[in-house]
Amino acid sequence: MKARKIIVIFTLMLIATAGFWLIGRPNQLSPVKLQPRQPLDFSSNPQQDQETFAESDPINQDPVPGSMIDLSDLPQNLHDPDNRYLRWLRGEYKPGKGEPLVSPQEKRALQEVALDLEPGVPSMIAIPMSVTNMEIGTNFDSMDFTDCCGSGGFIPPDPELAVGRDHIIAVVNVAFEIYDKSGAVQIPATTFATLFNGISGCTIGTQLFDPNVIYDEEADRFILGVDGAGVNYCIAASLTSDPTGQWVRYKFPTNVGGAIFDYPHAGVGRDAIYMGGNTFVNESFSGAKVFAYDKWAMYDGLATQWRERSLVVNQHTPQPANLHGYLQGTWPESGPHYIITGSDNKGENYSVFAWNDPFGVNEFYHNGTFNLVTATGVPVGFPVSVPQPTGGNIEANDWRPQDAEYRNGTIWTTNTASCNPGTGTVDCVRWAQIKPESASVIQAGVLRSNGIYRIFSDLAVNHCDDMAMGYSRTNPSDFTWGYPGIYVAGRTGSTQQNMLLVELPLKLSNVPYTAFDSPPYRWGDYTGLTSDPNGWDLWYLGQYSKETGNSDGKWGTYIGSLSFPRNSTLSPIMMTNLENSVYLPFVHNNSSGGIDCS
């Protein structure tokens, strides 16, 4: 009995001691937990809690060395005997429909449901479409199916665009081309395999796809990236502001854990180049990852640190914000880097994550979820196949986020979804302006009209909060100009909230689209719209159906500059960049750039 009393007393003492320790311990989350900077808001999805968004331990990898190359010394469009088109001709490749977030059976079921969508609120166009409040400036043809792949071809093209002070870089699957601001070619079409020649896993013989290009306004450098067979991210940075000269190249693994990596998208941050994408195991979606690469080490050609984070399985398609506004003084000087993700398979919920100091404290947390159906009042469904006037449908993919553009403290994003403007389901493009700290919607809209299909949108914003959105548009009832063409829509910073002002054609098409896969033909994964570092102009690289002379690939791409006329006081204030060259009319950070937004 005495021994039993001693055991009971000892047990009570242990419990009491543990209780005092729990009360008095420091109130900190372990590194595995999320590190929220403000209370999380799950009002749009109350079943979720903070623990739902916990992710794996941060993965810190050894620095990766770079290798130099001079672009002016490279052969253009070097023949690649293993490009996708030639492999198809040899019977070695069977075109698929991309890496879907849902199974083919689920996709068919979702599209059937989408055909019964109820009409939403009236279309959000502020004034008649014929009134032009946006102007198209310099415009010119870019790469097509016959240019892209070293005497081969590729579908889909997946065009992206980056614009610097003097140069423009366009990329497609799987090549890039460099122009001056007038559209004159400076470096003809050059394959990514040529750029990464000598780097195993990134060159000829490697299945390269999903190209990226971005421009760092702070450092005045260009960055090129491409997926290396789903196991590497092959990335290069220009060593100066002149992208026709020297570059440094890196290969970073992306298949940590063995999954195939797909759909990489990159964004410029203060301290890093951020990149995110989806992972697949046995062709089924398995999750998403984000990476950070030390940009300052890359720009110096040094061995580069990198970090990796994994999102939970209900998050997909991470889009790291791409920063703009350095020369206008609105570049963030502190704080985390924000990332937009898809948060469901209904096209409704999207999330904002924040990554703070990846090479230091390395905190990663969820800021909240926002609902774009609630914000717009427009019910949406899974995108449906796009009919052409003379048959041969086009694949519209899914409703994943297409971009995340940071300007003036907010993030703008866009995606494709089906909707019913009143007489039946079509594909529509949706846009939103987000306050990242609270993951709240400032404004949002859906561009839609009866009988018109719009897909693969991208957008960008200038210093005055003028927004332009570009996309491919098809009208199956127009047998002349109803084939897939390039259109742009936009609004000024003073336009009534949730409204667009105008829609304009950038490049019309009277050519039925065909490709070497079967209908619905692959059209793309994304297009590219970005802002000029001058803070005023916007540029779009869109995709249209073009007569290429080859029915196995009738896609072309086209570039156009966009502006919104108003009082402009761009005085010739000189700025000296890192190479001591004079550019006009840029000014240093912490200035409005001479732009009058009134």
Residue 261 lies in a domain: yes
The pLDDT score that the predictor gives to residue 178 is 98
Residue 352 lies in a domain: yes
What CATH number does residue 373 fall under? 2.120.10.10
pLDDT 10s per residue in the chain (598 long)? 444 444 444 444 444 444 433 333 333 322 222 233 232 232 333 333 343 444 556 666 889 999 999 998 988 767 777 788 888 888 888 887 667 888 899 999 999 999 999 987 665 544 444 445 799 999 999 999 998 876 678 999 999 999 999 999 999 999 999 999 999 999 999 999 999 999 999 998 888 999 999 999 999 999 999 999 999 999 999 999 999 999 999 999 998 778 999 999 999 999 999 999 999 998 889 999 999 999 999 999 999 999 999 997 689 999 999 999 999 999 999 999 999 999 998 899 999 999 999 999 999 999 999 999 999 999 999 999 999 999 999 999 999 999 999 999 999 999 999 999 999 999 999 999 999 999 999 999 999 999 999 999 999 999 999 999 999 999 999 999 999 999 999 999 999 999 998 899 999 999 999 999 999 999 999 999 999 999 999 999 999 999 999 999 999 999 999 999 865 443 322 222 222 222 222 222 333 456 888 7
SS (H, E, C) 148-191: CCCCCCCCCCCCEEEECCCEEEEEECCEEEEEECCCCEEEEEEE
Residue 147 lies in a domain: yes
Summarised one tens digit per residue, pLDDT across range 486-533 is: 999 999 999 999 999 889 999 999 999 999 999 999 999 999 999 999
Residue 35 lies in a domain: no
- Looking at the structure of the chain, the number of domains it has is 1
Residue 93 lies in a domain: no
- How are beta strands 246-253 and 232-238 bridged, if at all? antiparallel
Residue 20 lies in a domain: no
Residue 185 lies in a domain: yes
Spatial contact of 545 and 155, defined as CB atoms under 8 Å apart = no
The pLDDT score that the predictor gives to residue 25 is 36
Residue 598 lies in a domain: no
Closest CA to 506 of 543, 463, 553, 454: 543
Find the farthest-apart pair of alpha carbons in the chain and give their distance in angstroms, rounded: 100
Cα 281 from Cα 554, distance rounded (Å): 32
User: What b/e string do you get for 309-330 counting C-beta neighbours within 10 Å, with b at 16 or more?
Assistant: bbbbebbbbbbbbbbbbbbbbb
The pLDDT score that the predictor gives to residue 275 is 99
The pLDDT score that the predictor gives to residue 96 is 75
3-state DSSP assignment of residue 10: helix
The pLDDT score that the predictor gives to residue 93 is 83
Spatial contact of 396 and 523, defined as CB atoms under 8 Å apart = yes
Show the domain range for 272. Answer: 98-583
